[in-house]
Structure 1
Amino acid sequence: MNPNLKRLFARSMTGGLDPVEPPSPSSPRSARRKATLITLAAVFAIVGVLAGGYYFAMRPVTLRIAVGPANSDDVKLVQTLTHAFGQTHAYVRLRPVQTDGASESAIALADGKVDLAIIRGDLDVPKNAQAVATLRKNVAVLWVPPAKGKKAGAKITKIAQLAGHKIGVIGRTQANVNLLNVILHQYGVDPSKLEIVQFPAADAADAIRNQRADAYLAAGPVNSKITADAIAASTKDGGAPTFLGIDSAEAIAQNHPVYEAAEIPAGTFGGSPTRPDDEVKTISFNHHIVARKGISETTIAAFAHQLFAARQQLLTEFPMTAKIETPDTDKDAVIPVHPGAAAFVDGEEKTFLDRYSDYIWWSLMALSATGSIGAWFAGYLKKDERHNNSTLRERLLEMLAQARKSETTDELDTMQAEADNILRDTLHCFEDGAIEEGALTAFNIALEQFHNAVADRRALLMSLPLNLRTASGAQFRATGTL
């Protein structure tokens, strides 16, 4: 505060009169304080909304993923991903929903019970499914164990010779039977002319050793342990199995877009001699991770990013993760790609600012507008306080003129007390921001002149004879005038 004002304030407070109680806050000041509180509350509310919006935008999202059957590599992979995402506090978390197989997972997605599912590409893909990633490629393996005992005379070297025989299908899923039927139809073999039996994967080796079928079909990754163990069981007692090549693989792929022509490299299943001893033509189909249509593009893009980032970390435990590929983004893809996955593949993922820049901009505009409105409202409420202070200053100037004409010290004391109150009000106005530094300086000059006038008039009155001062004082006390 201006040193002169401090000095004048001290002088007014020690003018010989009893201290005057400070005036109670005026209603304009009280209203101004309420307006300030309201403005601050509005600002804090907007900041709170922004903070809350950021929290809800960035809080983890949990996606339910259907996967099966129990104890399969797919289930183990999803469980490992779930653990990995949780440990790294990733944006997307997984909640596995175990099913009996890919068909049941597809049904769960179609019914809206899950957000993600691992399905086979050769199944009836749900209409609400959109591709996120290609988990792996599966190949069909057809082979005939070496003939033994009563079946020593049976020699099958081509698919067309399967008619009239018993075919063992490894796995309980109907999808493998459908796959076999597709192959048989391509070679003109009527499925009704042969017997098809299914064995659980865990019982496949025993079924082969016990010669429960003449030929077998397995479907899975090229490095599938289930397939490798089943083929090893076929050669345990010597002799090598005969692999039935699907030479019409390209024709099948043309007629059934979910399949692709593929090859099984020589020696894929190991052993001595190596199995197979030469390259075998076959067909393949994909296992996909699909998302339910309508799930946030941002969420799926984040999931795809996390999935491919974790792929390298899981290679030791799950070598098949090296085969995880991005989905087909072509418009004519068998399974349409999810927009979020497409954004990840194309490198067009939206950042936080990209997604919420409009909301942030409008929030900042609202905050600025609130501040401006609050400042205007506070200034409006100070209008009466400024007017009141201007009136008090005019009163001080009037007292300045009266002080020069005063005839008693009592009158000077009364005006001094009133000036003290005016001083207090003016200082309160300045502290509250109702008046500016320039107005305070003008008040300072007027107050200084008033004190000088009082001091000069008091000195003049004190120099008068006592009888004149007494008579003048008595008249002032009796009538209030001289």
Structure 2
Amino acid sequence: MTQNLKRLFARSMTEPDFVAAPASPPPRSARRRLSFVMIAGALAIIGALAAGYYFAMRPVNLKIAVGPANSDDLKVVQALAQAYNQGNSQIRLRLMQTDGAVASAEALAGGKADLAIIRGDLDVPKNAQAVATLRKNVVAIWVPPQSKGRKAAPKITKIAQLAGHRIGVVGRTPANVNLLKVILQQYGVDPAKVEIVQFPANETAETIKGQKADAYLAAGPVNSKITTDAIAASTRGTPTFLAIDAAEAIAQNHPAYEASQIPAGSLGGVDRPADEVKTISFSHHIVARRGISESTIAIFTRQLFSIRQSLKNDFPPAARIETPDTDKDATIPVHPGAAAFVDGDEKTFLDRYSDYIWWGLMLVSAMGSAGAWFAGYLKKDERSINTSQRDRLLDMLAAARHSDSMEELDQMQAEADNILRDALTCFEHGGIEQGTLTAFNIALEQFHNAVTDRKLLLISMPQNLQRASAQFRAAGTA
């Protein structure tokens, strides 16, 4: 169809009496605007995709609160942070050193930290969710053997016999004192009737040697160096370890504690203790602030246990890290991200970002529809001009059939050429469709035939008849 129009255009150019008319410039403004819109839309989509990829793949910085200084917990977290911050890890750990588990819990509750190391038998922040168990602690209570030359005193073999005695507690934290009171109250011993002395954990050996006590309490992991050093400093013989036979009852009344055992020979010698001893235990937890995304904590947990495997040979405390309790009635509710890792339900990339991808596709589709509408809107002027030109062509078709002037026919022919040029340009720019171009082709062909026929008729008529016909028409229109 376009070729036919071009042939007609070439044909009109070869007419003997053709009068060249100035060509009207093609309507480029709409085309330029459309190109600009398309380029801007493409750049916006590319920018959105790049921003989404950066957001999805950029490392996430998590601040973890832990303390006190020189504690085993701080050393473990320092080793973990060093491993997290190496390579292409998706998680980066930033340490926030505190005075202890209580201060760490307060930092998490106040939103100052994303993660924290807290003690399970203390007040747990309401916004805390368990990610992992950093370590489990057992409670050891022992009585040193009586020194020779000392006046014989009743031997302490049970916790209920501690009333009226001096008890040394390893560690400055009030939590260990509260722990001792819980145990004493379970056995009917009034805590006010015992004298409690606390020893700093980093000065245990020297302090214990200078301040004697009738019994001692320490809480820490099995094989804890602090506990074994305290036992060694408090006695040169074989101590008597006091069993907490009411461990199950204490666990029932205080869910943060569990009934446990101290294995034989696990506290610094084959006779320390000689047999397994019943006791209670509690845990230190790695907790996350509620509100941190499930995918972030899932990645953190997965990397945590991967790092644990590589660290435990060179840094044995890392081997104590365990998965959290995922039961619904757990003392500290588990974070959904950690639960997904433990249960094997960790979401894939598509699972995590399927909603974003879907909305992105919807946005692209909407942008495409808007672009199509805008492109059509920009071409509205071209279509309007083309319609008016087609109407003008039809008017010239009617006028050509009655024209008595060769000059007038040549002028109409030149105008039709310009209309043809604009129509072809408009079609190439997408301003008109194929059907419209077909109708335009029919009108143009009819006009061309009308001009040709009229010129042949005028040439065959004598000059006087042409003048008479022109005068008659002029008089008829007057």
Match of 2:423 among 414, 423, 426: 426
Counterpart of 2:248 in 1: which secondary structure? helix
Counterpart of 1:321 in 2: which secondary structure? helix
Counterpart for residue 111 of structure 2? 112
Counterpart for residue 317 of structure 1? 314
Structure 1 residues 80 and 401, CA gap change in structure 2 (3 angstroms): same
Counterpart of 2:124 in 1: which secondary structure? coil
1:10-43 CA-partner distances (Å, limit 9, x unpaired): 6666877657243363xxx746764775577567
Residue 74 of structure 2 corresponds to residue 75 of structure 1: yes
In the TM superposition, what is the alpha-carbon distance from 1:136 to its structure 2 partner?
Answer: 1.7
Q: Tell me if structure 1 keeps the 8 A contact 2:33–2:378.
A: no
Counterpart for residue 262 of structure 2? 264
Counterpart for residue 20 of structure 1? 22
In the TM superposition, what is the alpha-carbon distance from 1:330 to its structure 2 partner?
Answer: 3.3
d(CA) in 1 for partners of 2:46, 2:34: 18
Q: Tell me if structure 1 keeps the 8 A contact 2:76–2:317.
A: no
d(CA) in 1 for partners of 2:199, 2:12: 107
Q: Within 5 A, what are the aligned runs for 1:142-161?
A: 142-148=141-147, 151=150, 156-161=156-161
1:165-188 CA-partner distances (Å, limit 9, x unpaired): 433222111111222222233334
d(CA) in 2 for partners of 1:222, 1:322: 12
Counterpart of 1:252 in 2: which secondary structure? helix
Structure 1 residues 381 and 209, CA gap change in structure 2 (3 angstroms): closer
Amino acid aligned to 2:284: H
Q: Tell me if structure 1 keeps the 8 A contact 2:19–2:414.
A: yes
Identity across aligned pairs (percent)? 71
Structure 1 residues 398 and 291, CA gap change in structure 2 (3 angstroms): closer
- Greater mean deviation of Cα atoms: 113-122 or 296-305: 296-305
Counterpart for residue 200 of structure 1? 200
Counterpart for residue 167 of structure 2? 167
Counterpart for residue 304 of structure 1? 301
Q: Tell me if structure 1 keeps the 8 A contact 2:159–2:184.
A: yes
Structure 1 residues 107 and 438, CA gap change in structure 2 (3 angstroms): closer
d(CA) in 2 for partners of 1:192, 1:44: 75
Amino acid aligned to 1:281: K
Counterpart of 1:205 in 2: which secondary structure? helix
Q: Tell me if structure 2 keeps the 8 A contact 1:134–1:326.
A: yes
d(CA) in 1 for partners of 2:322, 2:248: 22
Structure 1 residues 158 and 384, CA gap change in structure 2 (3 angstroms): closer
d(CA) in 2 for partners of 1:182, 1:290: 25
Counterpart of 2:85 in 1: which secondary structure? helix
Counterpart of 1:222 in 2: which secondary structure? coil
In the TM superposition, what is the alpha-carbon distance from 1:69 to its structure 2 partner?
Answer: 0.9
d(CA) in 2 for partners of 1:300, 1:32: 51
In the TM superposition, what is the alpha-carbon distance from 1:398 to its structure 2 partner?
Answer: 6.0
d(CA) in 2 for partners of 1:111, 1:335: 18
Match of 2:411 among 389, 411, 414: 414
Instruction: Give the TM-score normalised by the residue count of structure 2.
Output: 0.79
Q: Tell me if structure 1 keeps the 8 A contact 2:199–2:208.
A: no
Q: Tell me if structure 1 keeps the 8 A contact 2:166–2:215.
A: yes
Q: How many residues align?
A: 466
Structure 1 residues 149 and 18, CA gap change in structure 2 (3 angstroms): farther
d(CA) in 2 for partners of 1:110, 1:390: 72
Structure 1 residues 55 and 157, CA gap change in structure 2 (3 angstroms): same
Counterpart for residue 220 of structure 1? 220
Q: Tell me if structure 1 keeps the 8 A contact 2:223–2:268.
A: no
d(CA) in 2 for partners of 1:124, 1:391: 83
d(CA) in 2 for partners of 1:65, 1:207: 32
d(CA) in 1 for partners of 2:192, 2:394: 119
Counterpart for residue 185 of structure 2? 185
Q: Within 5 A, what are the aligned runs for 1:253-292?
A: 253-271=251-269, 273-292=270-289
d(CA) in 2 for partners of 1:334, 1:59: 34
Amino acid aligned to 2:116: A
d(CA) in 2 for partners of 1:102, 1:151: 40
Q: Tell me if structure 1 keeps the 8 A contact 2:69–2:98.
A: yes
Instruction: Give the TM-score normalised by the residue count of structure 1.
Output: 0.78
d(CA) in 1 for partners of 2:233, 2:12: 112
Q: Within 5 A, what are the aligned runs for 1:458-469?
A: none
1:314-346 CA-partner distances (Å, limit 9, x unpaired): 322333433333333334332233344444444
- Greater mean deviation of Cα atoms: 426-435 or 81-90: 81-90
d(CA) in 1 for partners of 2:135, 2:80: 16
d(CA) in 2 for partners of 1:313, 1:417: 87
d(CA) in 2 for partners of 1:186, 1:368: 69
d(CA) in 2 for partners of 1:309, 1:13: 82
Counterpart for residue 240 of structure 1? 238
d(CA) in 2 for partners of 1:10, 1:145: 119
Q: Within 5 A, what are the aligned runs for 1:3-14?
A: 3=3, 5=5
1:431-461 CA-partner distances (Å, limit 9, x unpaired): 2212223443554566567667778988999
d(CA) in 2 for partners of 1:366, 1:192: 70
Q: Tell me if structure 2 keeps the 8 A contact 1:13–1:19.
A: no
In the TM superposition, what is the alpha-carbon distance from 1:412 to its structure 2 partner?
Answer: 5.5
d(CA) in 2 for partners of 1:9, 1:240: 118
In the TM superposition, what is the alpha-carbon distance from 1:462 to its structure 2 partner?
Answer: 9.2
Q: Tell me if structure 2 keeps the 8 A contact 1:386–1:434.
A: yes
Q: Tell me if structure 1 keeps the 8 A contact 2:167–2:216.
A: yes
Structure 1 residues 378 and 294, CA gap change in structure 2 (3 angstroms): closer
- Greater mean deviation of Cα atoms: 281-290 or 341-350: 341-350
Counterpart for residue 368 of structure 2? 371
d(CA) in 1 for partners of 2:96, 2:33: 56
Q: Tell me if structure 2 keeps the 8 A contact 1:46–1:363.
A: no
Amino acid aligned to 2:121: D
Gaps of 5+ in 1: none
d(CA) in 1 for partners of 2:230, 2:13: 107
Q: Tell me if structure 1 keeps the 8 A contact 2:143–2:240.
A: yes
d(CA) in 1 for partners of 2:398, 2:103: 101
d(CA) in 2 for partners of 1:262, 1:290: 23
Amino acid aligned to 1:276: P
Amino acid aligned to 1:249: A
